[in-house]
Amino acid sequence: MLRQIGLNSGELFSSIPEDLRLRRSLNTPAALSEIELLAGFEQMAARNAAAYRSSFVGAGAYAHYIPTIVDHIISRSEFFTAYTPYQPEISQGTLQTIFEFQTLVCQLTGMEVANASMYDGSTALAEAVLMAERVTRRSKVIACGAVHPEYLEVVNTYVQHAGIELKHIDFDSRTGQTSSALDQALDEQTAALVVQSPNFFGCIEDIAALADKAHAAGALLIVAITESISLGLLRSPGACGADIVVAEGQSFGVPLSYGGPYLGLFATREKYARQIPGRLVGEAYDKQGRRGFVLTLATREQHIRREKATSNICTNEGLIALAATVYLETMGRRGLQEVAQQCAQKANYAARQIEKLAGFSLPFSAPRFNEFVVRAPGNARELLSRLASDRKIDGGLALWRYFKDRPNDFLVCVTELNSRSAIDALVDGVASVSKHKDTRTQS
């Protein structure tokens, strides 16, 4: 081929100045065969002990049942090796899927418009805050302290140069919900109130009441959701008056995969459609009147509006949106309700059992979905670490990771995958390692 185009091999990179060309081999591993490569990765995977244990860790990433067909469909070449559907005539599979995805997100959140996805829940929340500033032209944003701490960190990173003042208000330490400090914080400078429900502690917020308060101040209400399965049971944020709803869609058929790729859901009111970040798919017809789907309202996006775009996002989470679409359609109306009810019932059972243990309590009084905070008689990190080593159970997340003033608290998550016997083993394990520890401390 070189000869055919009149080149010799030395000339291929002639446009790179001599002194910039790498004169040695890269110091990266030598080529491996499939057998060697798999063995290496299997070996590393085996060092991830946490992946093989009974687990009650949630806090923004949830282990749920994934119907087998989800992985089958996202493994189809036609879906996973396709590009962004810029050529609608040969991308209708992807485009129609996204249209269904947008519809499902609207149905679940109770909103009117949803986009084709964001990177994850945390970045979707950051984009929602930026959008609220565009819509209201106000610069203060109030976030409840019971929003996922990592989400708040991401929002902080995104808005640090956007002229937005991010103000945190405490949660009520008795209920675990947004506190009444909110009433003083909301004013005519407030662009948005940001709450999560169920919040980081698993507590369900009174969204309708919060929406009224936000709207009374002329602010938008942004609702974030990390456990999207809750939408199968809880009143939708849209029905409660939310203006923007963002969520982490990982619970919809996406493996934990050590934190990603996940799926940001983003939905809002129709009147704000032109302020939405990211891609949108809409219905369109060809000359013969055949229905198809196409990327639309693209003038909002970076490739056209450049620095004035509603966001810099380009690549989103297309294939993960497909996974969620397959999941939601397979589980369907009744499956989503049943899985949500199982989560709530099982979590409630686990909470009742743990609450009975001597020395243990549940510090927050608000109603919960499938996560709840437990207060242990001693240090929660030590307790969980012993539970992991002695019983091979990951009993939850020590809140100390984010809240240094709560050394004895931990967050427990229960899903349909945690059987009654696994829950009983957790309860028994928690009781026994904590007793064992008490004896040791006393002696």
189 binds another protein (CB under 8 A): no
Cβ neighbour number for residue 15 with a 10 Å cutoff = 6
CB of 288 to another protein, least distance (A): 6
Site map 248..277 versus another protein, x via CB under 8 A? x------xxxxxxx-----------xx---
Q: Which of 144, 191, 319, 425 binds another protein (CB under 8 A)?
A: 319
Q: Which of 285, 356, 390, 436 binds another protein (CB under 8 A)?
A: 285
Q: Which is nearer to another protein, 103 or 441 (CB)?
A: 103
Q: Which is nearer to another protein, 156 or 432 (CB)?
A: 156
Q: Which is nearer to another protein, 184 or 290 (CB)?
A: 290
Segment interacting with another protein (CB under 8 A) among 51-59, 172-180, 213-221, 434-442:
51-59
17 binds another protein (CB under 8 A): yes
CB of 187 to another protein, least distance (A): 24
3-state SS assignment for residue 387: helix
Separation between Cα atoms, residue 196 and residue 315, nearest integer Å: 26
243 binds another protein (CB under 8 A): no
CB of 185 to another protein, least distance (A): 23
Q: Which of 29, 184, 188, 443 binds another protein (CB under 8 A)?
A: 29
**Angle between helix 121-136 and helix 149-159 axes, rounded to 10 deg:** 50
Q: Which is nearer to another protein, 14 or 359 (CB)?
A: 14
Separation between Cα atoms, residue 36 and residue 341, nearest integer Å: 45
91 binds another protein (CB under 8 A): yes
Spatial CA neighbour of 244 closest among 101, 132, 141: 132
Q: Which is nearer to another protein, 7 or 216 (CB)?
A: 7
User: E strand or H helix at 142, and its extent?
Assistant: strand 140-144
Separation between Cα atoms, residue 355 and residue 359, nearest integer Å: 9
110 binds another protein (CB under 8 A): yes
Site map 144..163 versus another protein, x via CB under 8 A? ----x-xx-xx-xxx-xxxx
CB of 183 to another protein, least distance (A): 21
Segment interacting with another protein (CB under 8 A) among 88-96, 139-147, 171-179, 372-380:
88-96
Q: Which is nearer to another protein, 117 or 443 (CB)?
A: 117
DSSP code at position 382? H
39 binds another protein (CB under 8 A): no
143: left (phi over 0), alpha (psi -120 to 50) or beta: beta
Q: Which of 279, 375, 391, 406 binds another protein (CB under 8 A)?
A: 279
CA 57 to each of CA 53, 193, 240: distance values in angstroms, whole numbers, following the listed order: 11, 28, 29
Separation between Cα atoms, residue 324 and residue 60, nearest integer Å: 16
Cβ neighbour number for residue 399 with a 10 Å cutoff = 25
Cβ neighbour number for residue 362 with a 10 Å cutoff = 18
59 binds another protein (CB under 8 A): yes
Q: Which is nearer to another protein, 217 or 233 (CB)?
A: 233
Contact positions with another protein (CB under 8 A) in 111-130 = 112-114, 116-117, 119-123
Q: Which of 141, 146, 244, 326 binds another protein (CB under 8 A)?
A: 326
Separation between Cα atoms, residue 373 and residue 396, nearest integer Å: 9
Q: Which is nearer to another protein, 86 or 436 (CB)?
A: 86
List all residues 6 or more positions away from 56 whose beta carbon is below 8 Å from its beta carbon. 350, 393, 394, 395, 396, 412, 413, 414, 418, 426
Q: Provide the residue type at 83 as one letter.
A: Y
CA 173 to each of CA 128, 141, 293, 366: distance values in angstroms, whole numbers, following the listed order: 27, 22, 49, 10
Q: Which of 26, 137, 188, 439 binds another protein (CB under 8 A)?
A: 26
Segment interacting with another protein (CB under 8 A) among 40-48, 172-180, 354-362, 434-442:
40-48
Q: Tell me the DSSP string of 390-425.
A: HH-EE--EEGGGT-TT-TTEEEEE--TTS-HHHHHH
Contact positions with another protein (CB under 8 A) in 387-416 = 388, 394, 397, 401, 416
DSSP code at position 226? S
CB of 252 to another protein, least distance (A): 12
Q: Which is nearer to another protein, 57 or 219 (CB)?
A: 57
Separation between Cα atoms, residue 354 and residue 372, nearest integer Å: 11
CB of 141 to another protein, least distance (A): 16
Q: Which of 134, 183, 271, 312 binds another protein (CB under 8 A)?
A: 312
Task: Write out the two tokens for 313.
Answer: 């996002």
